[in-house]
Structure 1
Amino acid sequence: HLSAGFQIVPLVIGLLALSEVLRLIEVELHPGVNVQGKRSEKIKGDDNPDNHRVLPHEFRRCLPAIFRGVGIGSIIGIIPGIGTTVASYLSYVSTKRSSKHPERFGKGAIEGVAAAESGNNAVVGPNLVPLVTLGIPGNEAAALILGAFMIKGLTPGPLFMQNNAPMLYALFTVLVISNIFTFLVGNLFVRYVRFVTRLPNEIMYPMILVFCFIGSYAFNSSLFDVLTMFLFGIFGYFLTKLRIPLPPVIVAFFLGPLLERKFRQAFIIAGNKVDIFFTHPISLGFLILTTIVVIVFVLLGRRKSKTSQ
């Protein structure tokens, strides 16, 4: 079963879906463990239709925040492995600092919501840039696309645009169409989908578990895939308890075999000399860039923790 490694779909289902269900079940059993994940209660004015759409004057007020979030999210999206959380945080902080009324942020300011969501959504498209050019997925969604490419025998990288141009154009076309449908479906169903959050947990969680098991088994009609999904779900649950983010784990799963194969090739071409990675301009440039990115985001993480305190 493991001659070709773990299958992609059961692993992702276990890490992202099953681990989250286990965490939410823990929240239900021990309400004081984690305030996140609690189901929303009905609030005053919830039946007012104006509460479920943005009014014209609110939209005009949010335009600067939206453009700022789109710009920051697009830049963050090009950098692989950072994800939407950083883009949302930087967009929110930047908008708050430039606002004439920063005291309103954190208390329901619509500009803060617009900036964070714009930054979050703007990451999606640029995340495909490192995927198709370098073969490096920018987030978990791009990692799933990479998995689909690998299943079909396609290898993203510098030659992907030359060898698979129709596939690339189809990918970008689908991205544009999906954004249009997201806008239409979101506007049509947002006021109705919110009722899903009020389904009893006794119904919601078993339904999610059933879909997890069905999806894992249907991928390859193998009970071993179901076992893989279950074990990685438990593994992901404990990673969440340790505050270790799951998307980098998934990205590492996809890039690990590719990294090993390319490293062996480069090592053989260089005559078994390690210094080639430090003397060649391209590899040295990537090493320096990686070091700078790590240092910058370690500092940003420390600043974020100080701000939250």
Structure 2
Amino acid sequence: MIGQLYIDGRDAYTDFGVWITEGGYDGLLPFPELVEPDRNDWPDEDGIEPDLEKPTLKPRELNITFVRSVYGRSAGGFVEYLSTPGYHLFRIHSLGREWSLRLIQGPAYEDWDMLESFTLRFTEDRPVRPSVISGPNGGGLYIPSSEYELDGVSLERYGIMVMEGKDEIMRSPTVKTNLSRTILNVDGRIYDADNVVFNSKEVTLKCCLIADSTDRFWRCYDALLNALIQPGERSLYVDYNVEEYPCYYKRTSGWKLESLRGRVVVTFNLTLEFTVFRMDGIDYLLATEAGELVVTEDGEYYIDLNTYA
């Protein structure tokens, strides 16, 4: 417990008698959410046109659960210290990273007889954007080839396996509501059914990030966040249905640190907004007699026979 958590350079266990409970690191991991961009939502066209020229991030709120012995010093002194004006620098030795946080609330307390558990809520008012020098180089461990590519980069190069996502990808979006009219003395309504267009839709992928060290984990973590918040729309290529979808990052959720010993294993949900999505039926792609898809000389694109029909 000694030397695990430092707050403003002070050891939380020796100076305040507290330590972070198991699972308490999870709240520190989520990416900041994206501020919802302005958009055009044309009633006669599929999807939306978001303004992603300069994506910005929301302040991040997070919970940390602490434990202390009932025979130790009072937790009140710890909370009082965190309540002093300004920001407090939290550094977790085993994670090798620090966060500048401000206390905003104490939402939970539990008495465990010999121990006390209390949850404090903090805010990170200025989320730190990653400074990525090189591209993603994987987590240093073998993982299966990914069926997903973000802007042409396979997710395995971020150390990520997508455990669930196909059902979300294939789910149809809702239909936009056309003009309608109700008449007081007539059943039902009069609806303009001559045009059917679809809304944008949220898609959540359940992901697992695996790395051989905390240093490699943070490199994958920063590289992915950096890629997601670049200006403009993102492109998600899905191998199993040979489709590429325009989208943008919205948020992550459900972060859970599964392992920190030997290898780092973290699970989380990544939510993207598909700006345009329509199931157009069957695609006809050029293939060899052996059934292998033919690509262009640069190896980037398949040949869609519908284009030449």
Larger RCO (alpha carbons 8 Å, 6+ apart): 1
More strand by share: 2
Give the alignment's TM-score, normalised by structure 2.
Answer: 0.23
Question: Which of the two has higher C-alpha Rg?
Answer: 2
- Greater share of helix residues, 1 or 2? 1
Provide TM-score, normalisation by structure 1: 0.23
